[in-house]
Amino acid sequence: MSDLLNKASLVVIPSGYKEDTVYSVVPSDGSGDLSFTRASNGTRINSSGLVEVCPWNLLEYSEDFSNGVWSIQGSSISSDSTTAPNGTTTADTLIESNTTDEHNRFQELNIGTGEFTYSIYLKYFNTDYCALYVFNPSLGGVRYWVNVNTLTAGTSANIGSGIGTTSLSLASVGSGWVRASITFTNPSGVCRFYVANAQSNGGATTYAGNGTSGVYIWGAQVNIGSTAKPYFPTTDRLNVPRLTYQNGGGGCPSLLLEKQSTNLVTYSEQFDNAGWLKFNGAGGSAPVVTPNYALSPDGTMNADRVQLARTTQTFSYSEIKQDFGTTGTQYTVSVYLKSLSGNPTISMANDGATFNFLATLTSEWVRYTATFTASGTPSAELILYEQVTSSSLTADFLVWGFQAEASSYPTSYIPTTSSSATRVADVCTKTNIGALIGGTSGTVFFDIKTNPVLSSANYKQFCYYFTSGGAQSYMYLNSANQLSTNSNWGSFVFSATPLVANTRYKIALVYAPNDFALYVNGVSVATASSGTPNNNADITIGQLAGTEYCEFVFNQYIHFPSRLTNAELSALTTI
């Protein structure tokens, strides 16, 4: 493989990324970097196997405290005034005004319920103390003082009644910088995250400033969980590629590209909320929900315990329910479940009519899914299965991350609170890249893994080359999940062996005038001997025209500017 890479003009192995960009390995000067857009949050599976919001830093403009997303109280910012912990001149100075006021910057976020960590890098400028605080306008908060001269913790104080359990940790990172982290539990709703000038340890927050005292600040972050994650810089938090880890985490990441989708249920992690209705039928008992009972698939203490029970052998039930959607629409529902006692059998139903979901729960978290076309008012329901083997049946389990989307297959989890939430489509593209992918001869290689479920939708697009005039060359899966190309790439249909779900494939397409070949997992599966390929200038990976999206993740994408030999193709695609 290493010898073949020497022939490549473009190599993308998902590993390096930032907002707006997926880095190429070859070339390494930026000319092969792919542009990335997704104007929303998304989730991924991180290297530890946990569901994680991407980007995990919930704050915007984490290095630009002069930006308007940071509210101002009695302070000014000297931007890019010193060297930051990463060696760039991007750290700011927070300077108190010469007025009697609080002297700070803060950002307000609706973070909802759970454990969170607020962190920021601090360094001595000309005054010893800085203050950090987390404040929930409805519930109060906590304030910590930090001695930025000695890099030690000062005192602390509750603001009002305070919020949940909190703690401060300090980690020196060299060159006088310390990363200060506040871990706290937010019962619900909005929080504000402050960095403030301070006259002294534990001193008054409102005081007469002198107009010159200040502290160096850089790299603010709020992340889900009880520890500060590695710092991730943000601007508007949009367009961050998702490098996801399959099979429970570990190994090498893959680039996740998905269509737009909306989670139609509200309070997807808060089953004690009134948005989830609790019912008991004759002979049943009302569900009991205990919030924040155990660690969820995102690694925080926000999984809810649900206890369902029925008491007779006649028809009876206990259920938790929320309505969504309209008749005649196809939906996919999904939810994470884990047994707490025994192996209860839980059904998910559409207003009592069970669709294709019936789960005997285990002691491990599993994401269960079902796809159906609504015949009435759709409902997301969890009910105790109507079996009659016992006169007293109970189900004791954990639940987290309920999702209902108008889709023929499940997409990555989209968290919601008081309203539905939409994850915008991922788009990975590059224009004016003809120097790397142009010419009428070449080889295109993909290492992919298909989704756990593949739909029957036509044109699951994953490779789209085009000229400045709009002429197209593309590869896709058709409605039978057969690997196909259009006429400019030989008009193949690999009809003998459709791709199947949850499977890794290495695919190489070679094209040259009147010479086309398709290799899959080390085997030649199709050839063609007529046609003239385009001289392409642009590329889009993972979708075509904003509507036709792939249903797999990308492990690797390589473009070779020449036709590889058959022996090289076989070696390249062998798993």
Whether pLDDT at 386 is above 60:
no
| Each residue's pLDDT tens digit, 254-285 | 999 999 999 999 999 999 999 999 887 665 67
pLDDT at 355: 53
pLDDT at 400: 97
Whether pLDDT at 392 is above 90:
no
Least confident of 11-20, 116-125, 242-251: 242-251
Question: Residue 260: helix, strand or coil by DSSP?
Answer: coil
Q: Could you tell me the sign of the dihedral formed by the alpha carbons of 318, 324, 329, 331, in that order?
A: negative
pLDDT at 146: 98
Quick one: average pLDDT of 314-331? 81
Owner of token pair 């403030």:
196
pLDDT at 313: 56
CATH 2.60.120.260 positions along the chain are: 263-421
Quick one: average pLDDT of 188-208? 95
Whether pLDDT at 350 is above 80:
no
pLDDT at 357: 63
Which one, of 509, 495, 496, lies nearest residue 464 by Cα? 509
Going by pLDDT thresholds of 50, 70 and 90, the confidence category of residue 358 is low
pLDDT at 545: 61
Q: Token pair of 234, please?
A: 């943000």
Whether pLDDT at 237 is above 90:
yes
pLDDT at 154: 97
pLDDT at 468: 85
pTM: 0.91
Going by pLDDT thresholds of 50, 70 and 90, the confidence category of residue 342 is confident
pLDDT at 385: 59
156 Cβ partners below 8 Å, 6+ apart?
142, 143, 144, 145, 168
Whether pLDDT at 348 is above 80:
no
CATH 2.60.120.200 positions along the chain are: 2-52+426-573
Q: Could you tell me the sign of the dihedral formed by the alpha carbons of 269, 274, 276, 278, in that order?
A: positive
Cis bond before residue 498 (omega within 30° of 0): no
Going by pLDDT thresholds of 50, 70 and 90, the confidence category of residue 380 is confident
Percent pLDDT > 70 in the chain is: 94
Whether pLDDT at 317 is above 80:
no
pLDDT at 185: 92
pLDDT at 352: 46
Going by pLDDT thresholds of 50, 70 and 90, the confidence category of residue 389 is low
**Alpha carbon distance 59, 120 (integer Å):** 11
Percent pLDDT > 90 in the chain is: 74
**Alpha carbon distance 121, 442 (integer Å):** 48
442, 511 contact by CB (below 8 A): yes
Average pLDDT, rounded, for the chain = 91
Quick one: average pLDDT of 189-199? 96
Quick one: average pLDDT of 436-454? 94
| Each residue's pLDDT tens digit, 448-483 | 999 988 888 888 888 999 998 889 999 999 999 999
Whether pLDDT at 495 is above 80:
no
Cis bond before residue 55 (omega within 30° of 0): yes
172, 178 contact by CB (below 8 A): yes
Report phi then psi at 146, rounded to 5: -125, 130
Fold adopted by 71-224? Jelly Rolls (2.60.120)
Q: Return the CATH architecture of domain 263-421.
A: Sandwich (2.60)
State whether CATH 3.40.190.10 applies to domain 2-52+426-573: no
| CA 487 remoteness from chain centre | 36
